[in-house]
Amino acid sequence: MPEVRVVNVAKKFDKILAVDNVSLQIHDKEYFCLLGPSGCGKTTLLRLIAGLVEPDKGEIYIENRLVNSVPPEDRGIGFVFQQYALFPHMNVWDNVTYGPRVKALGKKASKDIGREMLEMVKLFERLDAFPSELSGGMMQRVALARALAAGSKLLLLDEPLGALDAKIRNELRYELRKFAKDLELTGIHVTHDQAEAMAISDRIAVMRKGKILQIGTPQELYMNPQHIFVAHFIGESNFLEGYISKRTEKELTIELRGGLFVSTSDKTHKEGDKVVIAIRPEVLTVEKGEKRRTNSIFGQVEGFRFEGTNVRCQIRLENGDSVLIVRPALMTEWFNIGEKVTVSFPAEKSFVFSYPEKGLKRELALE
Amino acid sequence: MAHSGITKFLDSASSKSSVRYALYLGSITFFFALILIPPILGIVLKWNSMAETLRDPSLMSRATAAIYASFAIAIFVSVIDVVAGLPTAWLVARGRSRWLNVLDTFVDIPFIVPTATLGYSLLLFWSKPEGISSLFGGSLVSPGWLLVILLHFAFSYPVVVRVMVGAILDYKREYEEAARTLGAPPLTTDRTVTLPILKPSLIASFTLAFARSVSETGATLMVAGAFENGPIFIKNARDLGYEGPLVFVSFILIVISCAIFATIRLLGSRLKMPLRNVWPVAERKLSSSSVTAVRNSLSLFVFLLLVLIPSLFVALPAFLAMTNGTINQAVRGVGVWQGYWQSLILSYSVGFVVTMLNTLAGLPMAVLIARKRVRTTLSSILDVLVNIPLIVPSIALGTSLSIFWKSVAFIPEIGLLTFAHLSITYPYFVRSMAAAIERVNVDYDNAARTLGGRPFTVFRTIILPLTKYSLFAGAIMVFTRSVDETGATLAVVTQLRTAPVLLVEWVKGTVQATPLDIGLGCAILVLLSFIILLVSRLLVRGRY
């Protein structure tokens, strides 16, 4: 049975449609991410599930119970806020045991739960400290312990790592997932950081302008994006514009700018359609000199950067388009700026999308 | 050319630290010489006269009873103002109905109506046959301590509501949301999370209500009848020429006021609120929408019956006065109206002069406090001392000032009046400006200086534009407070009559004025106050 079900939910603030007819199912014990740029509606959707905001239309079910008119305190959720919202007038212990106390679980039970949660997040020795005395990472862990101590099976996290510096963020992201899995919770985690979402999620919903564009596992989203924005937002992509010049049963030939032709294995578009090909930087290969290869284009090196594990190579193609190639440093030749090269890619490892009505730049914009 | 010449001169002068220090020293000297020290020394000079009261048991008993009445009423009224005002503030800040904008505006009415007018309006409503008493066949609430309580409740209520609305709007709702996601019903959330966080504002609103109640004189004189609190005792003693009791009660009022405020300031932060115990079943039931509706209805009922309607009741005789010819007499300045217009001119003239002086002298003090130009400790001390005229009962402060200046030099009554109003209103301007300057990021000053700006230019081009609306607001507060001031005025003058003092005399019958005269006189004062408020709101709306 799905833990959370959202059915055709919409929410408007003044003239802005924050959530636009969204439907999704989150399974029991799943760690699910709502991912998207700022203003896409992911936090609003989370707050709708939490009951902090009421939907204008649609239904929200938690464990098969319709909760539209159920207040937050009765939905059985734990919520971790972006700025933690630790009660400034209570110390760590009082913050963490607040949930058990207001639910009248009893002194002993509250004490036991508080101790267990603080030991789990390794902050038991700071139980007398006030929030103003804690670092960002510590506050985040206290906020998590507080949400977990309430005893709920559904954990909602609103950009819980957003206020932390990069190193702590990287360390704590795995801890969040581990806690949720160890306690067999269902987790819904909101983030704008695609690397974070990819690292810890069972499934991800990519949102933009109030809509869900695609739901899938990290691998599905990365390897098979169904929307041009998903191809852009998850990982990196090169985008080349062109027209379908010929289609056969097995492949599609696309004419790019400058009369260049490439092949892909797309099956959805027809001759004459204006399209955009998305190609991952790590899928492109580059060789020195101008060589005839399948699905190849000539170009010139514009930039070459060593980044430790990888090298990043910017190539200006002969038709004026620019592509980025990322290859393992140990396995790649090194190039000089201005050097002539040949760029190629396997037809089956590209994605073809219809050209966006409002233009490519606008479609890929993050806001 | 002349303007740029003056600017260059001021820029050059402000670059010299000696000139800057002279300016700040001048401001500090103004404060100590005219605002703080005279009221303290005045009492000290007449120290020996207090023995007369101490030796007379009946006088001592009467004085003690009056002092006790002042503080008992102030504490009681402040507590019920907070208890009654908080639900209204909550409704205004968190409610969703458009009608709440109307409520928000109406809540301010007792605050902007001059207290003399408020006093007469409440007297009419509760005691006179024209008011609610007509339903009961006699005076429902006769002039006395109960009517004083009703008056003090009404004029402090908007202060509490305004402070709490501001605090609730500023408060981060995430704390409430966090508590509710942890399972706490709304009432438990309010009690254990929201109110403790809002505690400083609760204390501030209590303190303001307390200060207003202890200090209030003019309107209290109208409704007290034979009842005596501290300010009324001082007025009566003055009228009878009893200097000793007058000085004694003034001294005790000042000392106890300062002690109470110091106690609140020191111990207020340690006040524990009931946090640990929860009653989930009961508090969940009390959080229901029906209980909330009952609570809101009760708040509105209390506001309407005890605050708004009594405050506006003076409109009835005012309206009648406009239809029966009284207004013609008023316009022509016939009879009592000649004195009225003279008093109005005096009130507004003194208000204007006091506003100018306080703005000029208070601005450097505000910069000193906000930017800690002298040592941090000294700035903090000044920050505390500036509040003293706010917390001392105005009639006591006026009495002391009057004693001081009369012993130092011959000062005409208009001078004494100006000094008294300067003292009373000075903190209003300095507090407002200091808070506004503190809000201006000091990095703006520093950026301007690294770009070559001299101190005067930095002040003129950076601080002043960013705080000009607070400057207007502070000046308007000084002006309206001065026009409204009665207690200190009664203490320092015998011949001159400001508008509020004249209205008190009309009500008490010292000057024979008809009820319609009084109603119209009050209405004119209210109308002028509304115009000033409207202008000030237009100027300061939505700005720093």
Report the pLDDT value the prediction gives residue B309, as an integer from 0 to 100.
Answer: 92
Biggest distance spanned by C-alpha atoms of chain B: 77
Query: Is B275 in the A-facing interface, judged by CB distances under 8 Å?
Result: yes
Token pair recorded at residue A32: 């699910």
Which string of DSSP letters, residue by residue, matches B380-440? HHHHHHTTHHHHS-HHHHHHHHHHHHHHHS---HHHHHHHHHHHHHHHHHHHHHHHHHHHS
- Residue A244, helix vs strand vs coil: strand
- Cβ of A147 within 8 Å of Cβ of B181? The answer is yes
Among B181, B185, B278, whose Cβ lies nearest the Cβ of A77? B181
Residue pair B503/B522 in contact by the 8 Å Cβ criterion: yes
Structure confidence at residue B95 as a pLDDT band (50, 70, 90): confident
The verdict on residue B8 lying in a domain is no
- Residue whose token pair is 């509501």: B161
Domains and CATH numbers, chain A: 2-232 (3.40.50.300), 236-364 (2.40.50.100)
Q: Side by side, which strands form the sheet with A296-306? A: A285-288, A340-344, A296-306, A310-317, A322-328
Mutate to test the interface with A, among B175, B182, B269, B278 (most CBs of A within 10 A): B182
Among A88, A89, A146, whose Cβ lies nearest the Cβ of B182? A146
Give residues with Cβ within 8 angstroms of B347, minimum separation 6.
Answer: B482, B483, B498, B499, B500
Query: Is B271 in the A-facing interface, judged by CB distances under 8 Å?
Result: no
pLDDT, tens digit, 9 for 90 and up, residues B315-368: 988 888 888 888 888 988 888 898 999 999 999 999 999 999 999 999 999 988
Structure confidence at residue A205 as a pLDDT band (50, 70, 90): very high
Mutate to test the interface with A, among B180, B181, B276 (most CBs of A within 10 A): B181
Residue B292 has pLDDT above 70, yes or no: yes
pLDDT, tens digit, 9 for 90 and up, residues B111-134: 778 888 999 999 999 998 888 888
Query: Among the residues of B113-217, which ranges form H helices?
Result: 115-127, 145-170, 173-181, 186-189, 195-197, 199-215
Give me the percent of chain A exceeding a pLDDT of 90: 69
Quick one: DSSP state of residue B172? -
Token pair recorded at residue B221: 């004189």
Sign of CA dihedral A344, A350, A356, A362: negative
What does R_g of chain A's alpha carbons equal in angstroms? Answer: 25
The one-letter code for the residue type at B158 is P
The verdict on residue B421 lying in a domain is yes
- Cβ of A102 within 8 Å of Cβ of B182? The answer is yes
Residue pair B348/B529 in contact by the 8 Å Cβ criterion: no
Residue pair B394/B431 in contact by the 8 Å Cβ criterion: no
Residue A292 has pLDDT above 90, yes or no: no
pLDDT, tens digit, 9 for 90 and up, residues B164-185: 988 888 888 899 999 999 999 9
Torsion of CA A128, A132, A135, A136, to 10 degrees: 120
Chain B window 135-194: which residues touch A at a Cβ cutoff of 8 Å?
172, 174-175, 177-185, 188, 192-193
Kindly identify which residue of chain A lies nearest to residue B273, measuring between CA atoms: A89
What's the total number of domains in chain B? 1
Report the pLDDT value the prediction gives residue B542, as an integer from 0 to 100.
Answer: 52
Give me the percent of chain A exceeding a pLDDT of 70: 99
A330-363 b/e with 16+ CB inside 10 Å = b?
A: eebeebeeebebbbbbebeebbbbeeeeeeeeeb
Residue pair B191/B274 in contact by the 8 Å Cβ criterion: yes
Residue A35 has pLDDT above 80, yes or no: yes
Among A86, A87, A150, whose Cβ lies nearest the Cβ of B183? A150
The verdict on residue B452 lying in a domain is yes
Biggest distance spanned by C-alpha atoms of chain A: 77
Mean pLDDT (chain B, rounded): 87
B-chain CB neighbours of A71 within 8 Å are 180, 185
Residue B269 has pLDDT above 80, yes or no: no
Counted across chains A and B, CB pairs separated by less than 8 A come out at 73
Residue A85 has pLDDT above 60, yes or no: yes
Give residues with Cβ within 8 angstroms of A253, minimum separation 6.
Answer: A244, A245, A246, A247, A261, A262, A263
Instruction: Tell me the three-class secondary structure of A143-212, residue by residue.
Output: HHHHHHHCCCCEEEEECCCCCCCHHHHHHHHHHHHHHHHHCCCEEEEEECCHHHHHHHCCEEEEEECCEE
Mean pLDDT (chain A, rounded): 91
* CA A40/CA B295 separation, integer angstroms: 39
Structure confidence at residue B446 as a pLDDT band (50, 70, 90): confident
Enclosing H/E stretch for B459? none
The verdict on residue B15 lying in a domain is no
* CA B468/CA A181 separation, integer angstroms: 57
The verdict on residue B24 lying in a domain is no
The verdict on residue B4 lying in a domain is no
- Cβ of B193 within 8 Å of Cβ of A87? The answer is yes
Among B174, B183, B193, whose Cβ lies nearest the Cβ of A81? B174
Report the pLDDT value the prediction gives residue A231, as an integer from 0 to 100.
Answer: 95
Kindly identify which residue of chain B lies nearest to residue A104, measuring between CA atoms: B280
Quick one: DSSP state of residue B133? G
Burial of A318 (0-12, 13-18, 19+ CB in 10 A): middle
- Helix and strand element counts for chain B (H, E): 32, 0
Q: What range does the domain containing B387 cover? A: 30-540
Report the pLDDT value the prediction gives residue A106, as an integer from 0 to 100.
Answer: 85
Report the pLDDT value the prediction gives residue B543, as an integer from 0 to 100.
Answer: 46
Q: What is the mean pLDDT of residues A289-315?
A: 90
Structure confidence at residue B374 as a pLDDT band (50, 70, 90): low
Sign of CA dihedral B227, B229, B232, B233: positive
Give CA A308 to chain center in angstroms.
Answer: 25
B-chain CB neighbours of A85 within 8 Å are 172, 174-175, 177-178
Report the pLDDT value the prediction gives residue B182, as an integer from 0 to 100.
Answer: 93
- Cβ of B184 within 8 Å of Cβ of A98? The answer is yes
Which string of DSSP letters, residue by residue, matches A62-111? ETTEE-TT--GGGS-EEEE-TT----TTS-HHHHHTHHHHHTT--HHHHH
pLDDT, tens digit, 9 for 90 and up, residues B184-205: 999 999 999 999 999 888 888 9
Q: Give the residue numbers in A contacting B (CB under 8 Å), as ranges.
A: 50, 52, 71-74, 77-79, 81, 83, 85-90, 94, 98-99, 101-104, 146-147, 150, 156
- Residue B367, helix vs strand vs coil: helix
Report the pLDDT value the prediction gives residue B125, as an integer from 0 to 100.
Answer: 93
- Cβ of A102 within 8 Å of Cβ of B275? The answer is no
A-chain CB neighbours of B174 within 8 Å are 81, 83, 85
* CA B295/CA B160 separation, integer angstroms: 18
Give residues with Cβ within 8 angstroms of A307, minimum separation 6.
Answer: A329
- Cβ of B182 within 8 Å of Cβ of A52? The answer is no
A-chain CB neighbours of B177 within 8 Å are 52, 72, 79, 81, 85
Q: In DSSP terms, which residues pair with A215 in a beta bridge?
A: A205
Q: What angle do CA B520, B525, B527 make, to 5 degrees?
A: 90
- Residue whose token pair is 């700018």: A257
Structure confidence at residue A128 as a pLDDT band (50, 70, 90): very high
Token pair recorded at residue B317: 């005789």
Give φ, ψ of A307 to 5 degrees.
-125, 30
What does R_g of chain B's alpha carbons equal in angstroms? Answer: 25
Q: Do the strands A2-13 and A57-62 form a parallel or antiparallel pair, or are they unpaired?
A: antiparallel
Report the pLDDT value the prediction gives residue B2, as an integer from 0 to 100.
Answer: 45
- Give how far A74 is from chain B: nearest CA, Å: 6
Report the pLDDT value the prediction gives residue B375, as an integer from 0 to 100.
Answer: 63
Token pair recorded at residue A209: 């302008």
Q: State the angle between helix axes of B243-267 and B230-240 in degrees (0 to 180), rounded to the nearest 10.
A: 160
Report the pLDDT value the prediction gives residue B544, as an integer from 0 to 100.
Answer: 39
Q: Do the strands A252-256 and A261-264 form a parallel or antiparallel pair, or are they unpaired?
A: antiparallel
Among A50, A89, A102, whose Cβ lies nearest the Cβ of B197? A89
pLDDT, tens digit, 9 for 90 and up, residues B497-518: 999 999 999 998 888 898 899 9
* CA B209/CA B79 separation, integer angstroms: 9
- Cβ of B197 within 8 Å of Cβ of A88? The answer is yes
Closest to B301 in 3D by CA, of B312, B309, B311, B313: B309
Among A81, A94, A103, whose Cβ lies nearest the Cβ of B183? A103
Kindly identify which residue of chain B lies nearest to residue A152, measuring between CA atoms: B182
Burial of A21 (0-12, 13-18, 19+ CB in 10 A): middle
Enclosing H/E stretch for B295? helix B289-302
Q: What is the mean pLDDT of residues B252-268?
A: 86
Q: What is the CATH number of the domain that holds B350?
A: 1.10.3720.10
The verdict on residue B206 lying in a domain is yes
Residue B1 has pLDDT above 50, yes or no: no
The verdict on residue B165 lying in a domain is yes
